[in-house]
Amino acid sequence: MNKPDQKRKILVTAALPYANGPIHLGHMVEFIQTDIWVRFQKLRGHECLFPWSDDTHGTAIMIRARAEGRSEEEVIAEADADHQRDFQGFQLQYDNYGSTHSDENRQVCGEIWKTLRDAGLVKEKDVEQLFDVEAGTFLADRFVNGTCPECKRTDQAGDNCECGHTYSPTELIDPVSVLSGTTPEIRSAKHLFIELEQLHDFLRQWTQSGEHLQPEVANYLKGHFLGDPDSKEGAKELRDWDISRPAPYFGFEIPDSPGNYWYVWFDAPIGYIASTLQWCKKNGQSLDNWWKNDAAEIHHFIGKDITYFHTLFWPGMLKAAGYSLPTKVHVHGFLTVNGEKMSKRKGTAFKAATYLKHLNPAALRYYYASKLGSKLDDIDLNFEEFTTKVNADLVGKVVNLASRSAKFVKDVGLSETYPDDGGLFESAAATGDEIAAAYENCEYNKAMRLILELADRANPYVENAEPWNLKKDPEKASELQDVCTVALNLFRQLVIYLSPVLPDLAEKTGALLNDPIVSWDQSKTPLTGTTVSKFKHMMKRIEEKDVKAMEEESKAEAEAAAAAAQTAATADQFNDSGQPMIDEPMAEECTIDDFMKVDLRVARIVSAEHVEGARKLLKLTLSLGGDHRKQVFAGIKAAYEPETLVGRQVVMVANLKPRQMKFGLSEGMVCASGPGGEEVFLLSPDDGAKPGQRVH
RNA sequence: GGGCCAGUAGCUCAGUUGGUUAGAGCAGGGGACUCAUAAUCCCUUUGUCGCGGGUUCGAGUCCUGCCUGGCCUACCA
C-alpha cells in the first residue's frame, strides 16, 4: 500500500488522559505503544505529528473541584502539569500538549457542531434523570446508588446490579445520591441527540471494509451495534447519541442551546483536532493540511474500553463534518499485574511517578514492547519476568556487545573498510524489512524477537573471534580492530532497530561511535573509519531491591489513601497524630460559666466574596435565621473558594465584640481548626441543624 | 443473559493458506571461557497443543459441543 521509499504524512494520537487522576502504568502501555510507533515513523523518514492533550471536562472534574474547594481550572492545571512531568520521564515525544478546555477546542467544537446541525443530524428529546437538589446537579449513573428493581439487593450502582440486571437510575428503588446522601428527585430536561442511524450505511461500509480496524473490532461492532443486513436478524438500528448535559456541568456551553453543555465525549476526541490546531498556529501550518487532506494518514491508538466511541461516533462525526476519516484505529488490551487486574486498593495500580522514582523508563518501554502485539489481548506485568528479560536481553546480550569490544578500539577507531564478517551484517540488514513491517503493524513483540535473534548471532561471533586473545599479540592489532569493528557494527545495527523503543540507548550509541542515529537506513550500511569514544555504562541492570522498593511505596500509598478515606468516611481510625496538641497545647482550665459567655451559633453562609486588597480574608455574610445577619471577615481565602461556601452551615462566635478591620466591620468569627493558610477546616453541624441554634 | 478474544513445555510466547519426528527465549541440569554490568558461549531435560466429538489420506491448524480465563454489553469518565 505504502512504498517504503515514499514519504508519508502521518498524524498519530493516543487517548487523552483524564484530568481527574494521576497516570499509572496501565495508561503507559498505550502511551509507550504510541510513542514507539511515532518514533519508528520518524526514523523511517516520514513526517509524523503527535498532537496530544488532557481531557478535562465532565461531571467528575466538577465534583472533584467542589469537594476540594477550588476551581475546575485549578484542578485541570495541576493534572496537566503532573501528566506532562510523567510523560517526559518516560521519554514520550509528542509535538503539542493541549487541553480540551482550550479556545481552540471550543472553536473546533462549534464548527463541527454547526455542520452537524446543518446536516440535520441533531434532534431534541426530553430525558428523565435524577437530580440532587442539595448538590444542585443532575446525577450521572455512577453518582447514584439504590436498591435493584429486579432482585432488591441494596446499595447497587446506578445502572446495573451485581445480579446482572441493567436499568435506568430512575428505576432504582430508594435512590441515594453519593454526592450528598440525599434522595434525588426525577427531573426532566431537554437533551440534544445525534441521530447516528442516518450514518448507518456509511459506518457499516467504513467499519467492515477491513482497512481501518482489526478484524475482532469490526466483528464486535457488527455483532453489537450495526447488525448484518444479510443475516436472519438483519441490520440493527443505531441508537441516538445523547451529546448534551444540562447545567451545572464543567464543559462548553452549546452556543445555540443555552444552559446545555456538550457532553465530555463530544469534545474529547475533537481535542485531537484542537491540539493539532494549536501546533499548526505555532508552526505556521494549515489545519486542513492534516485533517482535510487525503494524502495525510490519521492513526488513533486507544484501549479496548473506548472502542465504541472511536469507531462509530468519531468516524460518524468526522464524516458528517467533512474531516478526514481515521486511516486506522489501533486498539490494544489492558495491563494486568502479576496476572491480576490492577488494583488501587492492593497498590498494584502503580503510578508512573512512583515507577520513575525507582526504575529506568527504558526498562518498561522495552518490556512493554516485547509483550505488545496487534491483538486486543491483555498484557501482564510480571516483575520477575520484567527483571530477567531486561537484564538478559538488553544488558546481557545487546549492550554487552559494545561493552566487550569498544575499549579495544578506543585509540584506533573503526577499521577503514568493513571486514568480512561471514555475512552477519548483511543478513541482519536484510531482516530489517521484516522488523520494520512488524513495527508498522504494531507487532512489537515480533520485532523484539527478531532483533534478539540477531543479537544471539552476534555474541557467538565475538566468542569465536576472541578479541581478548588477539589483544595479547601486537602483530594482530589490525585483526583485533576488524573484529571489534564487526562487533560494534552489529551492535549499532541492533540499536538502530531498537531506537524507537530505546531512544536513550540510541543517543548513547551515537555518542560512542561518533555518528548519531537518525535514520532506519543507517542499519543497511556498516559504519567505518570513525573514532570510538571511551565506553561508559549504557544501561543499568534492574535490581530486585528497586522493584521491591517501588512495590512497597505503591502499597504504602494505597494504604495511606485507604486509611484517609476511611477516616473521612467513618472516623473509625484512632491512630491520629499527636502533633496538633504539641503545636497548640491545651489552654488553662475554665468553668462552665466561662464557656457560657461565648455564644456559639449555627449560621448559614448566605454570601461569600473576595475582598479587594486583602491577602487572606474573605467577606462572609452569615444568617442566624429570620433577618439576623452578621458580617464577618474570615482568614480562609487560601483554603476556600467563595462559591463553594455559599449555602453552607458553619459554627460562629455570635457575641464577639465587633471589630473594625481595614476592610470593614467584622461582627463575629467562624469556627475552624487547622494551622492556617491552606490548612483551614471549617466546622459544620450535622444535617438537621438550623441557623440560629445555640451550640451547648 | 448475549457477544468478542484467548487457552501450545515450570514461565512468556512463535507456529503462515491443514502436510514429514510441534519450535524459541527464560527458568532447570552439565560443561567452556574470562574481554564484558556474576555478563557470554556450547551441550541438555520437559509437551494427552484446555476437554469431548466430527470432517480429512493427514488437524495445534477446519467444524461442533463443553470447560476455564480476560474483556465488552452505548447516555461510564
> pLDDT digits over A243-287, tens only?
998 888 899 999 999 999 999 889 999 999 999 999 999 999 999
Give me the torsion for CA of A259, A265, A271, A272, rounded to 10°: -160
Straight-line distance from CA A385 to C1' B10, in Å? 13
Half-sphere exposure of A341 (CA within 13 A, CB side): 3
Q: Which residues pair with A351 in a beta bridge?
A: A24
pLDDT digits (tens, 9 = 90+) for A442-492: 989 889 989 999 999 999 999 999 999 999 999 999 999 999 999 999 999
More confident residue, A175 or A392: A392
Question: Which nucleotide lies nearest residue A375, CA to C1'?
Answer: B5
Question: Which nucleotide lies nearest residue A404, CA to C1'?
Answer: B36
Question: Which nucleotide lies nearest residue A305, CA to C1'?
Answer: B72
pLDDT of residue A572: 35
List the grid coordinates of A218.
Answer: 469490526
Question: Which nucleotide lies nearest residue A373, CA to C1'?
Answer: B13
pLDDT digits (tens, 9 = 90+) for A396-425: 999 999 999 999 999 999 999 999 999 999
pLDDT of residue A573: 36
Q: Which residue is nearest to nucleotide B12 (CA to C1')?
A: A385
Q: If you average pLDDT over each of A471-485, A630-644, A658-672, which comes out highest?
A: A471-485
Straight-line distance from CA A216 to C1' B53, in Å? 27
What is the pTM assigned to this prediction? Answer: 0.80
For chain A, the first-to-last Cα distance in angstroms comes to: 81
A58: DSSP letter: S
pLDDT digits (tens, 9 = 90+) for A126-135: 888 888 888 7
Q: How confident is the model at residue A661 (pLDDT cuts 50, 70, 90)?
A: low
Straight-line distance from CA A59 to C1' B58, in Å? 62
Q: Which residue is nearest to nucleotide B76 (CA to C1')?
A: A142
Structural domains in chain A, CATH included, are: 9-110+267-335 (3.40.50.620), 127-187 (2.170.220.10), 360-524 (1.10.730.10), 592-682 (2.40.50.140)
Which residue, A50, A53, A55, is CA-closest to A33?
A: A50
Straight-line distance from CA A615 to C1' B1, in Å? 61
A346: DSSP letter: T
pLDDT of residue A525: 96
Amino acid (one-letter) located at A179: L
pLDDT digits (tens, 9 = 90+) for A522-561: 999 999 999 999 999 999 999 989 999 999 999 888 888 8
Straight-line distance from CA A473 to C1' B29, in Å? 38
pLDDT of residue A575: 46
Element (H or E) spanning A537, and its range?
none
**What is the CB neighbour count within 10 angstroms for residue A34?**
26
Straight-line distance from CA A254 to C1' B74, in Å? 22
Straight-line distance from CA A441 to C1' B59, in Å? 29
Amino acid (one-letter) located at A273: I
pLDDT of residue A60: 84
Q: Is the pLDDT of residue A574 over 50?
A: no
Between A121-125, A248-252, A343-347, A438-442, the lowest mean confidence (pLDDT) is in A343-347
Straight-line distance from CA A128 to C1' B72, in Å? 26
pLDDT of residue A156: 67
Question: Which nucleotide lies nearest residue A401, CA to C1'?
Answer: B36
Between A205-209, A226-230, A491-495, A601-605, the lowest mean confidence (pLDDT) is in A226-230
Question: Which nucleotide lies nearest residue A224, CA to C1'?
Answer: B3
pLDDT of residue A587: 65
Q: How confident is the model at residue A591 (pLDDT cuts 50, 70, 90)?
A: low
Q: A203 phi and psi, to 5 degrees?
A: -65, -35
Question: Which nucleotide lies nearest residue A125, CA to C1'?
Answer: B75
Question: Which nucleotide lies nearest residue A395, CA to C1'?
Answer: B37
pLDDT digits (tens, 9 = 90+) for A86-103: 999 999 999 999 999 999
Straight-line distance from CA A636 to C1' B2, in Å? 55
CB A358 within 8 A of CB A549: yes
Straight-line distance from CA A238 to C1' B7, in Å? 34
Q: How confident is the model at residue A679 (pLDDT cuts 50, 70, 90)?
A: low
Strand B nucleotides in reach of protein CB atoms, 7 A cut-off? 1-6, 11-14, 24-27, 34-37, 39-42, 70-77
Question: Which nucleotide lies nearest residue A303, CA to C1'?
Answer: B71
Q: Which residue is nearest to nucleotide B38 (CA to C1')?
A: A396
Question: Which nucleotide lies nearest residue A468, CA to C1'?
Answer: B35
Over residues A190-212, mean pLDDT: 88
Straight-line distance from CA A33 to C1' B19, in Å? 38
pLDDT of residue A229: 72
ipTM metric: 0.88
Straight-line distance from CA A277 to C1' B52, in Å? 59
pLDDT of residue A503: 97
Spatial CB neighbours of A198, under 8 Å, sequence gap ≥ 6? A120, A121
Over residues A630-635, mean pLDDT: 79
Q: A665 phi and psi, to 5 degrees?
A: -85, 130
Q: Which residue is nearest to nucleotide B25 (CA to C1')?
A: A449
Element (H or E) spanning A228, and its range?
strand A227-228
CB A96 within 8 A of CB A278: yes
List the grid coordinates of A40.
Answer: 519508528
Q: Which residue has the cell 443555552?
A: A258
* d(C-alpha A40, C-alpha A275), whole Å: 22
Q: Which residue has the cell 474529547?
A: A268
pLDDT digits (tens, 9 = 90+) for A615-626: 677 788 888 888
- Burial class of residue A635 in the structure, from the number of CB atoms within 10 Å of its CB (0-12 exposed, 13-18 middle, 19+ buried): middle
Straight-line distance from CA A226 to C1' B66, in Å? 30
Of all residues in chain A, what percent carry a pLDDT higher than 90?
Answer: 50
